[in-house]
Amino acid sequence: MSRSPGRKQENHKISRELFVLTYGALVAQLCKDYEKDEDVNACLDRMGHSIGTRLIDDFLARSAVKKCRSYSETADMIAQVAFKMYLGVTPSVSCSSATGNEFSLILDKNPLVDFVEELPAERASLCYCNLLCGVIRGALEMVHLAAEVTFLQDRLKGDAVTEIGITFLRKPEDRKHRRN
């Protein structure tokens, strides 16, 4: 039996839409469970971190990428390979520090908010997609790269783009293993 050539793409689209709808229901439930937006944000970050620590194995196995030699290569790998592989989008990357350890991932389109029009006024400090920050941070930790990952801009809050900031916490030379 032969399969139609568009079948895989169709299944991927259905899976992504199901994930986005399920994610929206998850955030809505967390908003009911927690009064403070900070608690919801922290919960989403923890959940994302858990996902990221497990997702990195799948990413390394499926992408067959080589070891990144710099923070710049790592940021490009996250944007060009990981985001494309799991969310179907490719954010642009910009370095925002002279030391080369701070980067921004700029998403013109964020698939997690496909079915969200705006945040309620009483949830102004909610970081709806904070799960992504946790996923990135968790995955980086599993490859021994400590990083702080935060949302800098969010379209749901009226910004022009969605921007995720990644700050690598160690200097590149600190990553090298020293032999005694």
What is the Cα–Cα distance from 117 to 44, expressed in whole angstroms? 20
pTM here is: 0.86
What is the Cα–Cα distance from 59 to 50, expressed in whole angstroms? 15
Residue 170: count of CB within 10 angstroms of its CB: 13
Domain boundary assignment for the chain: 16-119+126-168
How high is the pLDDT of residue 58?
Answer: 92
Among the residues of 64-129, which ranges form H helices?
71-77, 84-87
How high is the pLDDT of residue 178?
Answer: 47
Work out the percent of the chain whose per-residue pLDDT is above 70. 87
C-beta of residue 133 within 8 angstroms of C-beta of residue 79: no
Regions in the chain scoring below 70 on pLDDT: 1-14, 171-180
What is the Cα–Cα distance from 119 to 152, expressed in whole angstroms? 16
Q: What CATH number does the domain located at 16-119+126-168 have? A: 3.30.1380.20
